[in-house]
A = this chain, B = another copy of it.
Amino acid sequence: MSLTLYSHWRATAPYRVRIGLALKGLDYGHVSVNLAEGVQHKAAYREINPQKLTPALDIGGDILTQSLAILEWLDDTHPEPPLLPADPLGRARVRAMAGIVACDIHPLNNLRVDRALETIGVSDADRRKWAVRWIADGFAALEPMVARDGAGFAFGAAPTLADCVLVPQVWAAEQRYKLDLAPYPALRAAAAHAAAHPAFVAAHPDLQPK
Interface residues of A in 59-104 (CB under 8 A from B): 59, 62, 64-70, 72-73, 76-77, 88-89, 91-93, 95-96, 98-100, 102-104
**A91 and B103 contact, CB distance less than 8 A:** no
Most chain-B Cβ atoms within 10 A of its Cβ — which of A89, A92, A141? A92
**A116 and B133 contact, CB distance less than 8 A:** yes
One complex includes copies of this chain to the number of 2
Q: Please classify the interface of chain A as helix (H, G, I), strand (E, B), loop, or mixed, using the class held by over half of its residues.
A: helix
**B122 and A113 contact, CB distance less than 8 A:** no
Bound state CA distance, A98 and B67, in angstroms?
Answer: 12
Closest 4 CB pairs of A and B: A66-B99, A69-B95, A107-B107, A73-B92
Instruction: List residues of A whose CB falls within 8 A of some B CB.
Output: 50-51, 53, 59, 62, 64-70, 72-73, 76-77, 88-89, 91-93, 95-96, 98-100, 102-104, 106-108, 113, 116, 120, 122, 126, 130, 133, 137, 140-141, 144
